Amino acid sequence: MTAKKKPAGRSTGQFEKVDCEYVYLDEHGVPIDLPLGTYRPEDFEEEVIEVDEGDEEALAAVLAPRPAEVPADQPLQAPAPPSVGSSDEPAAAAPAPASAPSQVPVPAQAAAPRKRDAAASKEGHSPLELRGVWRGFQGGGGRVEVLKDVSLDLAAGELVVVAGPSGSGKSTLLSVLGCLLRPDKGTVRVMGRDVSALAETELQEVRRRNMGFIFQNIYLMAALSAVENVRVALDIKSPGGPPPRQAGELLGLVGMGGYATRLPRELSGGQCQRVAVARALAAGPRIILADEPTAALDTDNALAVMKLLKDLTADEGLATAVVTHDVRLFQFADRVLSLDAGRLREVRRNEK
């Protein structure tokens, strides 16, 4: 083929649209049916190859995501953190480049996960359900319908990835799932309860009791240690009573028990995101909602964090939804859904 090569800057971190259709392949070489748009490539530091118009086969070969480098049945191994009083002070770590795989610390004795009953609070209902949801916004050119008749069941023990190009409405969908936006039409059920018409104070209680959120921007408090960041979330979500798990136990669950006293600036990007996952688990939520949780991470840390989410989802019986345009994450999903032109459809189902 005739190809023009140029370096891909990490600052952009995306392939721009060209005049031919994008074709993505999964790790088995099977095409993934996704709408046109801008997606994150598998590795930001490799070359971008601009292919001739209509050369879908060449473009598919370029964009094919590689398999995860983290074995499914083998925990991540890393050296133990330095002892107190060590002369080597930890530097503020940036995410490791893709050419040098990073180790994510896992203490020798992490907290054991607790299996949960996969049944929702009411028989026959998943922890989170949407039925016929519509949501739109009024713009300068008139009303724009972002979600059109969207229905979704998020089952206990299931990790669902919602993919789509930038501006397709993924964040709007996550906000409706998280009871942060009300649907214009349709029904949202949390643990079998219709919450569509609840007052805002009641919705706050629904979120506090049932949901944990993981954000693209990690939002750790810089002046607080890892364990203190988690403890703040526990204080908010378990007022007036003992939490189901202590902060140190939650950090152990995500492989960060040996770093409880470190400040965020003393942790790498992947470590900070693991602390954010522990924070999301405060007060034992049944539902985890993640908005581009690996967007700021290099490939190795992104795969490690997603494997952590997948394992926690299965071991804890969580109902987890991740919105992303990162094709590297599809392999960790039980289902991959595509949001395009306001419509949600399933494009891939992975064997368990």
Identify the pLDDT of residue 252.
93
Q: Which of 67, 102, 120 is the last residue of a domain?
A: 67
More confident residue, 254 or 54: 254
Domain-located, residue 80:
no
- Please write the tens of the pLDDT for every residue from 17-51: 333 334 445 555 555 555 544 444 443 333 444 55
The CA distances from residue 180 to 20, 104, 188, 290, in Å, are: 37, 33, 11, 14
Dig out the tokens for 303 from the structure: 């795969």
Identify the pLDDT of residue 56.
55
Domain-located, residue 204:
yes
Domain-located, residue 34:
yes
Query: Do 173 and 49 lie in a common domain?
Result: no
- Please say whether the dihedral angle defined by the alpha carbons of residues 300, 305, 307 and 308, taken in this order, is positive or negative: positive
**Taking 50 as the threshold, does the pLDDT of residue 75 lie above it?**
no
Query: Do 179 and 326 lie in a common domain?
Result: yes
Classify 42 as helix, strand or coil: coil
More confident residue, 318 or 141: 318
Query: Do 151 and 275 lie in a common domain?
Result: yes
Tell me how far apart the terminal alpha carbons of the chain are, to the nearest angstrom: 38
Query: Do 160 and 272 lie in a common domain?
Result: yes
Domain-located, residue 123:
no
Domain-located, residue 241:
yes
Q: Which among 196, 187, 115 has a CA at the least distance from the CA of 156?
A: 115
Query: Do 53 and 165 lie in a common domain?
Result: no
What residues contact 193, with CB distance under 8 A and at least 6 apart? 121, 122, 206
Query: Do 184 and 329 lie in a common domain?
Result: yes
Give the structural domain span for 41.
1-67
- How many structural domains does the chain have? 2
CATH code, domain with 173 = 3.40.50.300
- Please write the tens of the pLDDT for every residue from 238-254: 776 677 788 999 999 99
Domain-located, residue 87:
no
Query: Do 46 and 166 lie in a common domain?
Result: no
Query: Do 204 and 59 lie in a common domain?
Result: no
Q: Which of 40, 67, 94 is the last residue of a domain?
A: 67
Domain-located, residue 107:
no
Query: Do 176 and 60 lie in a common domain?
Result: no
Question: What mean pLDDT do residues 132-140 have?
Answer: 91
Dig out the tokens for 238 from the structure: 């378990």
Identify the pLDDT of residue 297.
87
Domain-located, residue 283:
yes
Q: Which of 18, 33, 67 is the last residue of a domain?
A: 67
The CA distances from residue 120 to 139, 174, 192, 231, 313, in Å, are: 38, 20, 7, 27, 15
Query: Do 59 and 166 lie in a common domain?
Result: no
Query: Do 180 and 281 lie in a common domain?
Result: yes
Q: How confident is the model at residue 55 (pLDDT cuts 50, 70, 90)?
A: low
Query: Do 176 and 61 lie in a common domain?
Result: no
Question: DSSP character for 141?
Answer: T
**What is the pTM for the complete model shown?**
0.67
